[in-house]
Chain A
Amino acid sequence: MANMKPNDSVEKIVVQLRTEAIRLWGEQRATELEESLQQTAQQLWDLGQVTPHRDLEPGFYQ
């Protein structure tokens, strides 16, 4: 996961997520998770399309 970059494509993010899922839970479980992996990759890609203002800190409890 350490090599995920802000400008990675959805497809590239899916590959990275799938690789990690296989490492953690095996091939079969990763296959079962394919739809979720695609959705998560899309969500991560969405977030990567925006550059938060450099002074913006996380909100957490807000």
Chain B
Amino acid sequence: MPQPYELTVFQASQQIKEKKLSPVDLAQSLLERIDATESALKAWVTIDREEVLTTAKQLEEEASQGKSRGLLHGVPVGLKDIFYTAGMKTAAGSKVYADFVPDFDATSVAKIKEAGGIILGKAVTTEFATSDPSPTFNPWNPEHTPGGSSSGSSVAVATKTVGAALGSQTGGSTCRPAAYNGIVGLKATYGRISRYGVVPVSWSLDHVGILVRTVEDAALMLQVMSGEDENDPGSASEPVPDFLKQMSEHNRAPRIGIISDYYAEKSTPEVWANTQDAIKQLKDAGAKVAKLNLPDSFKTAHSAQRIVMNVECAAFHEQFHAVQAEDYGPRVRSGMEMGMLVPATKYLQAQRLRRQFRQDMVQLVQPVDVVLTPAIPAPAPKDRNTTGDASFQVPWTTSGLPTVTIPSGLSDDGMPLAVQLGALPFEEGKLLGAAQWCQGVLGLELSPPNYT
């Protein structure tokens, strides 16, 4: 019989529904797990235990009467500390926001609460979700970076102090730490999940991210948070399907597009061999594999992403920077200062090239169900002064296409490896179905040795 903290979100939700699990026992189990691990991990910044247990008690009473608020009834969820939480500090890992207490919930947070979820607490983020490393430790090896910027959310999920946590992705900040920590990361299509009430890095690039241990949980969280939001100008009016149903329907051998150029050159031999081995396993299990070539517009995708990110970051922080530049970490500060130097014409050219790239990526993915690449060029670097390399995530973030990362093995030195799958815009159901099938074939659910 597993401890409550070991349950996935889907399992916990089912057990609460069947009155086999008490929301209070689940919350208590996770809080005790945090107590037992936090000093070694530094994954959390704010936890309001009293509020967590009070909410759990209320939801337990409702569950005992056969009432359910929704898919997450009684299940705790963690939030990267850039998500607005009414009455709870949202410091964004920064001195500049150190005392900021929002007076409303981010739309995604409100949706979690509406679905019966309990906000367990705020997880560590790198400063303003950029690249100055956080204090969080990688549970697989504390000498290696946990990745970022969703460092705390990823580590919290990997070490089972929560079943699901929200992250964000402007470059690679959800799927890269997911890969480095051996868990599942989902970045849905741009506009699928509202960004309203999330401290921005870059309005036109930011995505809400989902960090979980199974693809099924990713679908469940996506279901809860998706939908148009008039408060987010980038929000999509696309209808929200039943993702869990679509995932089940597409849980079969997919047509997989494989890209070798760029990814083969940038990956370490070990990562590339691991990806080839994963492809072979998937092919042997029935997947149809087709080779694809990156479009010409890929050549400028990374530069366009960086220019857009820096300029929009500069625009958001301009007023704070004018009076307290010294309060910023070195990388976030230099990034925004670079943004201040970029001419408006170059920013607009970058946005034009992004649009071309997105159109070309849609053409690229069209003939297949999903495109598969390694998720990371190398395992988490043995260097806590970096958050790692986001270059394999950037094309998906820049184009806004949905992508999911799943574990694919361990490196020779025992660090997680992963592959990422990408799909057409708003085809998350198909993407998740393919990912669930691939996860089943690869048969991996990684757990850090000291945190099983």
- On A, residues with C-beta under 8 Å from B are 1-2, 4, 17, 20-21, 24-25, 29, 32-33, 36-37, 39-40, 42-44, 46-50, 52-53, 56-62
Among B191, B335, B341, B345, the one with the most A-chain Cβ atoms within 10 Å of its Cβ is B341
Q: Which residues of A contact B399 (CB under 8 A)?
A: 62
Are B337 and A21 in contact (CB-based, < 8 A)? Answer: yes
Say yes or no for B442: interface residue by CB 8 A criterion: no
CA distance A20 to B338 in the complex (A): 10
Are A56 and B334 in contact (CB-based, < 8 A)? Answer: no
Question: Which size class do B's interface residues fall under?
Answer: 35 or more
Are A24 and B353 in contact (CB-based, < 8 A)? Answer: no
Say yes or no for B63: interface residue by CB 8 A criterion: no
Q: Which residues of B contact A1 (CB under 8 A)?
A: 341-343
The 8 A CB mask of B340-363 against A (1 = contact, 0 = none) is 111101101111111110100000
Are B303 and A46 in contact (CB-based, < 8 A)? Answer: yes
Q: How many A-B residue pairs have CB under 8 A?
A: 98
Are A61 and B204 in contact (CB-based, < 8 A)? Answer: yes
Using known A-B contacts A61-B191, A62-B358, determine if residue A52 contacts B204 with beta carbons closer than 8 Å: no
Say yes or no for B300: interface residue by CB 8 A criterion: yes
Among B191, B337, B340, the one with the most A-chain Cβ atoms within 10 Å of its Cβ is B337
Could you tell me the dominant secondary structure of chain B's interface residues?
helix
CA distance A1 to B342 in the complex (A): 8
CA distance A37 to B409 in the complex (A): 38
Q: Which residues of B contact A59 (CB under 8 A)?
A: 204, 351-352, 354-355, 358
Are B351 and A60 in contact (CB-based, < 8 A)? Answer: yes
CA distance A43 to B191 in the complex (A): 26
CA distance A60 to B351 in the complex (A): 6
Using known A-B contacts A46-B300, A58-B348, determine if residue A20 contacts B341 with beta carbons closer than 8 Å: yes
CA distance A25 to B334 in the complex (A): 12
Among A20, A33, A36, the one with the most B-chain Cβ atoms within 10 Å of its Cβ is A36
Are A40 and B358 in contact (CB-based, < 8 A)? Answer: no
Question: Which listed residue, A21, A29, A40, A47, touches B310 by the CB 8 Å rule?
Answer: A40
Using known A-B contacts A1-B343, A62-B400, determine if residue A50 contacts B353 with beta carbons closer than 8 Å: yes
Are A52 and B303 in contact (CB-based, < 8 A)? Answer: no
Are A52 and B334 in contact (CB-based, < 8 A)? Answer: no
Interchain residue pairs with CB less than 8 A apart (23): A21-B341, A24-B341, A25-B337, A32-B334, A33-B338, A36-B335, A40-B306, A40-B307, A40-B338, A42-B303, A46-B300, A47-B300, A47-B307, A50-B297, A50-B300, A56-B356, A57-B352, A58-B351, A58-B354, A58-B355, A59-B204, A61-B234, A62-B355
